[in-house]
Structures are given as C-alpha cells and as structure tokens.
Amino acid sequence: MENKVVTFGEVMMRLSTPGFSRFIQSDAFDVTYGGGEANVAVSLAQFGMGAAHVTRFPDNELGRAATNLMRKYGVDTQHIVYGGNRLGLYFLETGASVRASKVIYDRAGSSFADLQPEMIDWERALDGVSWFHWTGITPAISEGAAASCKKAIEVANSKGITVSADINYRKNLWQYGKKASEVMPDLIAGCDLIVSGKSDAKDILKITSNEPDEDTSYIDVFSQIMERFPKVKKIVNTTRGSISASHNTLSGMLYDGSQLLHTTTYDINPIVDRIGGGDAFMAGLIYGMLEYQDNQKALDFGVAASVLKHTILEDANLATVEEVETLLNGDTSGRLQR
C-alpha cells in the first residue's frame, strides 16, 4: 500500500512585511497561507508522498484561496470542512542580524476555533492512511479543537495508524479555561512518536531531570515520558543555536528507549525564512521513517530538510528529496546548477 500521511490543524493567512521592513514602515503586506501541520503535508507532497490536510475554513473566498494553495502543492483537501466566520491571521516582520523577527497573531474566533468533533468524518479521513500527525497548537486553540484532535487520535489508534505529535507548548494560546497539563497527557497517550524538548516536558508534563550531563539529562527526561506513556516508542528533538536572526545552527536527536542518536550540526547562514523550520523537520522525519525504516537515516533526513527550509520563503518547505539527499551527502556549496 502506498504511504499516505494525514495532518490536522489550523491554517492561517500570513501577512508579511516586504523584505526586512518593519511593521511601522509597511503600507503593504505579502500574502500567503500556512499552519504548522499543513506545512508538514505540503513538504511531504513535495517529497512525492501522499499527503492530506484536515482543517476548517470559512466558506468564503479566503477559505477557498487557502484551500487552493494546498492543492497547488499537491495536498489532498477533500476532507476540509467549511463554516464559521473568519480565517485566522498572523503578521510577520522578518528580522536580520541582531534584530529578531516578530509575529503578531489575530486568530480569536476563527472558523477552526469553533470546530466540533462531529464536523469531521474521521473514519473516512483516515481510511487507508499510514500516519497521522498533529501538534500541541491544535488542542490549545479551543475545547472543540482539542476534542476533535482526541477523536482523530482514537480513530487512528483503532486503525493501527502511526500517530505523531510535536507537543510544542505555546502558553499564550491556552485561553479557554483549560491548562495544557490537563489536556495534553490524554492526547500524548495515543502517540507512537513525539517531538519534545526538556522545556516542553517540564511545562506540560511536569517532568524534569537533575542529571548534570546534557545527554544523560535528555535520556532521563525521555525515559520518564516513555514510562508514563508506554505507547510512545520514539522521542525526537532539535537543538537550535541562535547566533543572530540571520545565522543559526541546527542539529537533532532521537531516543528510542535504548540509545540517544544525534545528527551533525549544520551552520545556516544567511537565513531566508525560519518560519516552518520545525514543520520541515517533522515532514523529513516522517518521510524518512516510512521510506528508510531506519531511525538514524530518518533523523538525518529530517534535520537536513529543516536546514533547507531556512533558505525558502514562506511557511512550507518546497525542497525535493534529491535536494535533501544532496545536502546529506555533504554538498553545501550552493553552486549554480545548469
């Protein structure tokens, strides 16, 4: 059976200042659409893998425009539902050198925030699927979104589908009366693979380590997570070094319950657009897991894919498998190809 991945989460309109302009300078914005989980689907489609995204859009021209963008990049949109009043927005000011990038969100009352579990036919949406992916952003948006995510995980588990989650904690998103520590554990319990750093484990799961060595402390935290959630068999994380807004380093790690794997550390300079770097990593990791069936190869592919995303404008990684493999083979020259 051909591999197919389904992702689930909100898609917003992205309004970016042109070039490196500041918000107070700009009298126009560049428009595109993106969301953490949808970015994963777009990237997987560029790798030639079957990818579908499930979300809710307003039934108007903006909702259709966002749908069309995903279709343009080869993502299956047949299970998107329409209704509600508005599309969420976010505004981006791209930083440079010592000036950080800035993001302003305007997503309250969006169509996705008003989502209810019965609006999506998860049995159909997950039929014949190999992998289901969600992030911690979705259950933070609203109680309905959290319940919808829970339903999707339950159906995926019943069908034997691999479930992954980037459990990233965004404190400011949790505004509907529930804490992440109340909602997330029940969702994580249905996952086979998660992305988590030590700060996520502390904030969401109250799991910490007193181990002085860096690797040992990660193993300690990851082992505690696996002991609490027996279904979780792999935990991955990326480590970013921020030299400036234009210059970062990036590496990755994976723990499978017995060993902690590492990747090479990449130097990314200059950065074109770092939005979506984590989503590109996740897409690369999923692709590697399904295609290579090898933890180290999948981890290496994921980090290399993320590095390439930093050279590509807008939310989603549009790199090909060939381009990722070229980087993996050590070619970082960026030499003109003709």
- The CATH number for 111's domain is 3.40.1190.20
What's the mean per-residue pLDDT of the chain? Answer: 95
pLDDT band at 338 (very low <50, low <70, confident <90, very high): low
**Residue 333 resides in a domain:** no
In a domain, 214, yes or no: yes
pLDDT confidence of residue 242: 93
**pLDDT over threshold 90, residue 91:** yes
Which residues face 33 on adjacent strands?
13
Residues counted in the chain: 338
Residue 159 in contact with residue 29, Cβ under 8 Å? no
275: pLDDT strictly greater than 60: yes
Q: Is residue 273 a part of any domain in this protein?
A: yes
Does 142 reside within a domain?
yes
Query: Residues 39-88: pLDDT tens digits?
Result: 999 999 999 999 999 999 999 999 999 999 999 999 999 999 999 999 99
In terms of Cα–Cα distance, which of 163, 154, 223 is closest to 191? Answer: 163
Beta bridge partner(s), residue 144: none
Report the alpha-carbon distance of residue 103 to residue 91 in Å, rounded: 6
281-302, pLDDT tens digit by residue? Answer: 999 999 999 999 999 999 999 9
Identify whether 167 is part of a domain.
yes
Say what the pLDDT of residue 1 is: 45
Average pLDDT in the 214-226 region?
96
Question: Does residue 337 form part of some domain?
Answer: no
- Asked if residue 334 belongs to a domain, the reply is no
Task: State which residues form the domain around 192.
Answer: 4-328
Average pLDDT in the 175-196 region?
Answer: 96
Taking the C-alpha atoms of residue 12 and residue 65, their distance in angstroms, rounded to an integer, is 11
DSSP H or E stretch at residue 193: strand 193-195
Mean pLDDT across 144-149: 97
Which pTM value belongs to this model?
A: 0.94
Q: What is the average pLDDT across 111-126?
A: 96
pLDDT of residue 172: 84
Q: Which residue has the higher pLDDT, 331 or 13?
A: 13
Six token digits for residue 267:
């130097």
Name the strand (E) or helix (H) holding 41.
helix 36-46
Rounded Cα gap, residues 205 and 8, in angstroms: 22
The total domain count for the chain is 1
Instruction: Give the pLDDT score at 218.
Output: 97
Question: Is residue 143 domain-resident?
Answer: yes
Say how far apart CA 124 and CA 127 lie, in whole Å.
Answer: 5
